[in-house]
Homo-oligomer: A and B are copies of this chain.
C-alpha cells in the first residue's frame, strides 16, 4: 500500500462513489478502496473468511473515465477465496476484495446489498444510500497465547493485537466483559471478534462485546418514539441494510392522549413519570423483540441504538420528569445529544450496547425534528426549504446552507380529527377525500378501505363492510378547502347561511350553520366550530412558518417537505388553498414520510451524521413564537383562507381561488382570543 504511485500504475475507479486512484499491480482491491476512503466492510481483517468485502468488476470501455476494465485486470481467485466460495458461496461475478488484487485498470462496483448468512431484507425505509461509518465495528483478531516471559494479561494482549491489526489505540473495555475475557479467548483457540464502539474521535474506543472465532453479525436499531406510535428499524451494521421495520402504539396513551395530558398526569400523580417511563421502555423492548423475531436476529446482537423523540417523549424515555416542559420557560433538562450504555435505562440488547439520542432543538422542537432536519438537510443545499412535521404540535424548520431557523407552533389535535365534531383517526371507514360541486354544492368523497368514490355505482354496497364513520385529518383539510373554493364559506371561514336557500346541505344551528357531508348513520356534518378549529390549527402553523420567513427575510419558500404520517396523506394543493403552508410551486411540495426515523437511521449508520446534526442544531436559530410580538398579527391574518394579506400567486396558476371579499367575521371570528393560552394547547 505504501509503494510509490506513478502514472503508469493501473487506474481503479470505484462506483457508485466515483472515487479513483492509481495503485501498483498486486495491491489488494480492499486496500485500494480504503486508501481512497471508499467504505468496504471487513470483519475478518483480510483473511477471506467473513465475506463482507465483496466487490464486482464492471467490464467494458468506460470512455468517459478513459478506463478499459476487464476481468483480466483483477487477479484470479486464490486458495483462500476459493475456499470461501466453496464453503459459503459467492454470487456470480462477486469477488472478495481482500484477496483480489489489482492487475490492470478497473471499474469496481461496491454493492450495497452484500448479504451474508441469508439475512432477510425488508423494504428500504428510504431510497437514499447512507454512507456507512457506524460507531460499532466488528474486528476479528488472533490473540497471542500467554507467555510467562511476557506476562501481559489476556485482555491486554487482546488490546495489543487490536492496536496492531486494526489500529485501535487506548481501548477501554466494558466492565461486564472483564470476567468473561479468559473463557472467550480460549474457546476458539485465541481467535475472537471484538465489537468496538467509538463515537466521537475525542472519546476513547470501547470493547463492548467479544465473541469466540468469527462473529459476522452486528445490528443496530433506529427508533422514533412518537406520542402515538413508536417506529423502529432493525439494521445490519455490516451491510447497512434494514432487516426489519415495525411500529407499535405508544402505551403512554393510556395516561393521556397527547403529550400535554401526559405532562398533566405527571404533575398530578407522584408515580406518573416513573410509570410512563417504564411503559415506554417496555414498549421499546417489546418492539425490539418484534423486529428481531421477524428477521430471526438475536436481540443480543444489537450493539447500537439511536433514538429520536419529541421533547416530552425524549424526557420520559430518559426517565426525566417533563413538568418543566409544560410551563414557561419550557426548560429542557438536556438539549444536547447523549450517549451511554443502553442497559443503563433498561434497554434489553447486547449488554455492551450503546445508546445515542439526537439533540433536541428547543423546548418544543425535539430530537425528532433534529432527525428530520438531518434527513432532509435544509442546511445541505442553497434553496430555502420549509420542513414541517405536523403533529398536535407542529415543528417547523426553515433554512438553507446559510442559515436555519426553527420554531414550534401549537396546532392542536384538529388535524388529527380531534376537536372536530365528526372527526376520527385515519382508519377504515373514515372519509379521506372530499370534492364539492361549486354549482350544486353536492359532495362526493372516498372512504378508507373502499375503492370507489361516493357518487360511483356500488359505493354503498362496497362501504357496508366498514361503514362511513367520520372524517380523518386529510379529508378535513379537503372539505374545508372545497367549501371555500365552492363559496360555501367566506375567506374568513364563515359558512354562508344565505345558501341554505339553495341547498338543503346548509343547515342552521342557532346562530351558525353546518354543512351536511353525509346523511346516514352516523350523520356527518362540518360545523362552524369544526371550521374554526381547522382555522386555528392552520393559522398557528402558518403564523409560525411566516415568522420564520420574516426571520429569514424571505417572501417565498423554494421547496416544502412534509414530514410525518399526516403529510403523506394530505393533498398539497388543498393544504395550500387552506393556507396551511405558504405559496410554493406545487411540484416542490413533497411528503417525506417518517423523516425523523430516517434521521435516526442515518445517525445509526454513520457517526459523522451525529456530529453533523449536533453541530447544525447548535447553529439553528430557535424562535419562541410566544415571545414574538409579530406572532399575534400573523396568526390573525392566517385565520383567513388562504390568508388575509399574503398572496398565493403560484397556487393561483393551478387553482382558481375565489375573489377576495371580507364578510363580517361572525360571533367567534376573533382568532386571537380563541387561542386559550399557549400552554394549554402545547401538544406533540
Contact = CB atoms under 8 A, between A and B. Distances in A.
What secondary structure prevails in chain A residues at the interface with B? loop
Interface string A101-114: 00000000000000
Interface string A125-166: 000000000000000000001111111111110010000000
Nearest to A320: B179
Given A148-B627, A179-B320, A321-B179, A153 B344 contact: no
Contacts of A362: 151
A320 B329 CA distance: 50
Interface stretch (A45-53, A334-342, A460-468): A334-342
Contacts of A329: 145-148
B334 A178 contact: yes
Contacts of A328: 148
B151 A334 contact: no
Contact of A334 (B156, B324, B336): B156
B178 A330 contact: no
A319 B179 contact: yes
A363 interface: yes
A152 B320 contact: no
A182 B321 contact: yes
Given A151-B363, A321-B182, A624-B149, A175 B332 contact: no
Contact of A182 (B159, B324, B336): B324
Contacts of A65: none
Interface in A40-78: none
A271 to B, nearest CB: 14
A283 interface: no
Contacts of A332: 151-154, 156
B178 A335 contact: no
B178 A148 contact: no
* Most-contacted residue by chain B among A147, A179, A200 (CB, 10 A): A179
Given A150-B622, A324-B182, A328-B148, A159 B336 contact: yes
A187 interface: no
Interface in A155-201: 155-156, 159, 170, 172-173, 175-176, 178-179, 181-183, 200
A624 B178 contact: no
A246 interface: no
What is the copy number of this chain in the assembly? 2
Contacts of A340: 175
A320 B624 contact: no
A204 interface: yes
A202 interface: yes
Given A320-B179, A320-B182, A328-B148, A334 B624 contact: no
A658 to B, nearest CB: 39
A149 B620 CA distance: 12
A179 B336 contact: no
Interface residues of A, number: 55
B330 A148 contact: yes
A141 to B, nearest CB: 17
Contact of A202 (B170, B183, B330, B360): B170
B321 A178 contact: no
A333 B153 contact: yes
Contact of A146 (B200, B331, B627): B331
B624 A148 contact: yes
A333 B151 contact: no
A343 to B, nearest CB: 10
Given A320-B179, A320-B182, A321-B182, A624 B204 contact: no
A200 B319 CA distance: 30
Contact of A151 (B151, B182, B335): B335
Nearest to A339: B172
Nearest to A324: B182
A148 B626 contact: yes
A203 interface: yes
Contacts of A149: 622, 624, 627
A657 interface: no
Given A202-B204, A363-B151, A181 B622 contact: no
B148 A335 contact: no
B153 A360 contact: yes
A333 B173 CA distance: 13
20 contacts: A146-B329, A146-B331, A148-B363, A149-B627, A151-B624, A153-B331, A154-B324, A155-B336, A156-B336, A159-B336, A170-B203, A172-B203, A178-B318, A178-B320, A178-B333, A178-B334, A178-B338, A179-B319, A179-B321, A182-B331
Sorted nearest first, the 5 A-B pairs with minimum C-beta distance are: A153-B335, A146-B331, A153-B332, A151-B362, A155-B334
